[in-house]
Amino acid sequence: MRPVTGLPPAALLVLYTAVALAPLALAGWSGSRENDFLAELSVGAALVAYAMMLLQFITSGRFERLSGRIGIDRTMHFHQLAARFAAVLVIAHPLLPRLPTDLTQVGTLPTALAIMFRAPHLLSGVLAWGLMLVLVLMAILRRRLPIPYEAWRATHAVGALAVALAGAHHTFSVGTYSREPALFWFWCTLLGVALASIAFVYAVRPWLQAREGYRVTENREVGTGIRELTLDPLPGRGLRYRAGQFAWINLRRPALPVFDHPFSFTSAALEAPRVRLTIKARGDFTGTLQALAPGTPVVVDGPHGNFGLHGHPGDAVCLVAGGIGISSIMGVLRDLHASRDPRPIALLYGARNVQQLAYADEIRAMQGELRLRIHLRLDEPPQGWAGGVGPMDARAFREVLSGVDPARSVCLVCGPTPMILAAERHLIAAGVPPRSVIYERFEYA
């Protein structure tokens, strides 16, 4: 991984909070005041909401110096929660000053809101208000929307830019506090950072990636419906990465982020700059990747993520993979094999059937050179199957940890979200410290 900011995760959270609340401090410092408490509260909600909107561009998960410090899953989960909280503040902004003071005024609220939403001088604010709510709602319902993933990402990016610009116009044109020099320049700086991040992600980075260039050199089957792609860069170029990290893969030129998808490195770090990826066809972009012929150019944006053993010491290693989750785990296992790691290593690997046990022969061959114990489980075992059957349960994890001290073990888990959560629960119950259960997922529902 490339060096990341020296700030620990807790300090990053404090910094984020300080920036989000800074408009309140600057507004208070200006000395201006609204006429009543609810109006003041409404303005405060709008100030914090707009600051959080602009910070969303930075917490999008596309900047390794941030996501590499706390993990892509935590970064994206925070991004999602922050958007929802900002949406609540956005909803509250027009409602607070118009709340009825007694029951006889309840019926006047719709009329007051209708008048406000039709006011010409508030048009940009109404546009930002509506777009913000639509974007958040579309993000929450993303998997249920009848539109392709790429179309949703493009809509999300354009909509977010529109919210930022419409919000800026509303803030500068009608905001009492934002006309004060200190807050005015704060907004200019934060808006500039947000726009610069968009330009970097959608213009500068694609241009840089086009100069790097990877090509497919091998496409082989490693299981039924599962293929491994080997990508090699142009001479003298390419990535350096750690086992367990991932990259965004794109087949378009220019490599706009709306068309890329995340895939974990299946290769060991010592193989860099060569990249290996494991792809399971799911009827979407993965089907396109599986069919790539040798020589096909591919754009690789990485490395990203902090999944892996780096920074997580332990006297024993436990690897848990479910389904295509073997892709990340295989990269780590290959890395341990390449370095002839002397520690006890246990692999718990579950798949639907024996045909989908990718890399089974390669993994068994490693037992001769590593202190490796293999525990395989199938949902649909063939006749005479000697391994485990069904979902990974508490007993399976106790067997995996037998012979080692769970309190001094580090466990990497990769697979479907329900399996990850169950594995974390069982490992902690078996005595593995929570900080030593490492996982990274790409689902943020």
Q: Are strands 226-233 and 275-280 parallel, antiparallel or unpaired?
A: antiparallel
Please tell me the predicted confidence (pLDDT) of residue 211.
67
The DSSP bridge partners found for residue 214 are 233, 298
The DSSP bridge partners found for residue 412 are 319, 438
Instruction: Read off the pLDDT of each residue in 219-229 and give the average, rounded to a whole number.
Output: 91
Is the model more confident about 7 or about 159? Answer: 159
User: DSSP letter string over 204-254?
Assistant: IHHHHHHHH-EEEEEEEEEETTEEEEEEEESTT------TT-EEEEE-SSS
Q: Are strands 297-304 and 246-250 parallel, antiparallel or unpaired?
A: antiparallel
Name, in order, each residue with C-beta under 8 angstroms of 115's C-beta and a sequence gap of 6 or more.
none
User: DSSP letter string over 160-175?
Assistant: HHHHHHHHHHHHHHH-
Q: Which amino acid is at 438?
A: I
Helix extents (H) in 56-122: 64-70, 72-95, 109-118
- Distance (Å, rounded) from C-alpha 443 to C-alpha 414? 12
3-state DSSP call for residue 298?
strand
Instruction: Read off the pLDDT of each residue in 141-145 and give the average, rounded to a whole number.
Output: 88
Please tell me the predicted confidence (pLDDT) of residue 5.
41
The structure tokens 């777009």 sit at: 131
pLDDT tens per residue across span 101-112: 666 666 666 777
Please tell me the predicted confidence (pLDDT) of residue 68.
67
Structure tokens of 363?
């993994």
Please tell me the predicted confidence (pLDDT) of residue 106.
60
Structure tokens of 103?
């029951």
Nearest to 355 by CA among 383, 380, 329: 380
Is residue 130 pLDDT above 80, yes or no? yes
Average pLDDT, the chain: 88
Instruction: Read off the pLDDT of each residue in 199-225 and give the average, rounded to a whole number.
Output: 85
What kind and span of H or E run contains 277? strand 275-280
Give Cα 40 distance to the centre of its chain. Answer: 36
Lay out the sheet containing 372-378: strands in order across: 388-389, 372-378, 345-351, 316-322, 409-414, 437-439
Across the chain, which distance is largest between two alpha carbons, in Å?
82
User: DSSP letter string over 3-19?
Assistant: ---S--HHHHHHHHHHH
Cβ atoms of 133 and 87 within 8 Å: the answer is: yes
Please tell me the predicted confidence (pLDDT) of residue 322.
92
Instruction: Read off the pLDDT of each residue in 106-123 and give the average, rounded to a whole number.
Output: 79
Is residue 239 pLDDT above 90, yes or no? no
- Distance (Å, rounded) from C-alpha 319 to C-alpha 427? 11
Is residue 347 pLDDT above 70, yes or no? yes
Give Cα 10 distance to the centre of its chain. Answer: 18
Residue 1: pLDDT band (50, 70, 90) is very low
Residue 445: pLDDT band (50, 70, 90) is very low
Is residue 204 pLDDT above 90, yes or no? no
- Distance (Å, rounded) from C-alpha 247 to C-alpha 67? 13
Nearest to 338 by CA among 436, 243, 416: 243
Instruction: Read off the pLDDT of each residue in 10-28 and give the average, rounded to a whole number.
Output: 91
The DSSP bridge partners found for residue 350 are 322, 377
Please tell me the predicted confidence (pLDDT) of residue 102.
63
The DSSP bridge partners found for residue 348 are 320, 375
Question: What does the angle CA 223 – CA 228 – CA 230 come to, to the nearest 5 degrees?
Answer: 160
CA dihedral 194, 197, 201, 206 (to 10 degrees): 130
pLDDT tens per residue across span 288-313: 888 889 999 998 888 888 899 988 88
Q: Are strands 214-223 and 226-233 parallel, antiparallel or unpaired?
A: antiparallel
Is residue 444 pLDDT above 70, yes or no? no
Please tell me the predicted confidence (pLDDT) of residue 203.
85
- Distance (Å, rounded) from C-alpha 398 to C-alpha 396? 5
Please tell me the predicted confidence (pLDDT) of residue 3.
33
Is residue 35 pLDDT above 70, yes or no? no
Backbone angles phi, psi at 130, to 5 degrees: -65, -45
Residue 4: pLDDT band (50, 70, 90) is very low
DSSP structural state of residue 293? P
Please tell me the predicted confidence (pLDDT) of residue 33.
61
pLDDT tens per residue across span 392-405: 999 999 999 998 99
Cβ atoms of 73 and 131 within 8 Å: the answer is: no
Please tell me the predicted confidence (pLDDT) of residue 2.
33
- Distance (Å, rounded) from C-alpha 422 to C-alpha 420? 5
- Secondary structure percentages of the chain, helix, strand, coil, to 5: 55, 15, 30
pTM, two decimals, is 0.80
Please tell me the predicted confidence (pLDDT) of residue 282.
76
Please tell me the predicted confidence (pLDDT) of residue 73.
76
Is residue 184 pLDDT above 90, yes or no? yes
CA dihedral 134, 140, 144, 145 (to 10 degrees): 30
Is the model more confident about 7 or about 113? Answer: 113
For the ranges 65-69, 141-145, 424-428, the maximum mean pLDDT occurs at 424-428
Percent of the chain predicted with pLDDT > 70: 92
Please tell me the predicted confidence (pLDDT) of residue 117.
80
